[in-house]
Amino acid sequence: MLAIIESEFQSAGLPAEIAAAAMINAYHESRLNPLAKAGAAGEDSVGLFQLNARGAGHGMATAARQDPVLNTQRIIEVVKGSQGRALLAAHAAGERSVAQFSRLFAQHVERCAACGYQSGSGELDRRAATSRQWFPGDHASYSLLAVSNPWLWLPMVTVAVVGGALGLRWYLQSR
């Protein structure tokens, strides 16, 4: 899933720091499970970025929102639209902190309910902490997938294995 996000953001011509922030936010939104569904009653959010049928996922069928490439492409449209202005302005102003981009992504693009939108929250701090863990030195001037730091790969491999197992369990239960 990380490779899909990185590739799609790179193909869209977006900076590495914003792609890194997207990876962090997808992890916190869905644990990188493209089949994830929001747990809140009445909420229709699904996929890597938890696209809501009444929000960023408007007009997309559930299956399309669960497709990791289509889900990522839609969030890129959001980043390139008015909700991504804060991200793009921060990058243009010279910001390079993945932690800061993760916060901005959560507040302005994801607009996650737990993030307090414009105000601070513990959820924003958790996303920033993940960014510092995944991107030591708090930058993404390199590809996440090219990093050879085993302390970085261990949590990602764990997420991949657990996410795969949960996806398989969901698939088998839904049959």
Dihedral (CA of 79, 80, 81, 83) sign: positive
The 10s digit of each residue's pLDDT in 49-66 is: 999 998 899 999 999 999
Local confidence band at 164 (pLDDT 50, 70, 90 cut-offs): low
Burial of 110 (0-12, 13-18, 19+ CB in 10 A): buried
The 10s digit of each residue's pLDDT in 67-114 is: 999 999 999 999 999 999 999 999 999 998 999 999 999 999 988 877
With 70 as the cut, is the pLDDT of residue 5 above it?
A: yes
> What DSSP string describes 65-117?
HHSHHHHHHHHHHHHHSGGGHHHHHHHHTT---HHHHHHHIIIIII--GGGTT
The 10s digit of each residue's pLDDT in 112-147 is: 877 765 455 688 888 888 998 998 876 554 445 444
Assign 52 to helix, strand or coil. Answer: strand
Query: What are the residues whose beta carbons fall under 8 Å from the beta carbon of 167, sequence distance 6 or more?
Result: 33, 34, 35
Q: Which amino acid makes up residue 163?
A: G
pLDDT score recorded for residue 145: 47
For the entire predicted model, the pTM comes to: 0.77
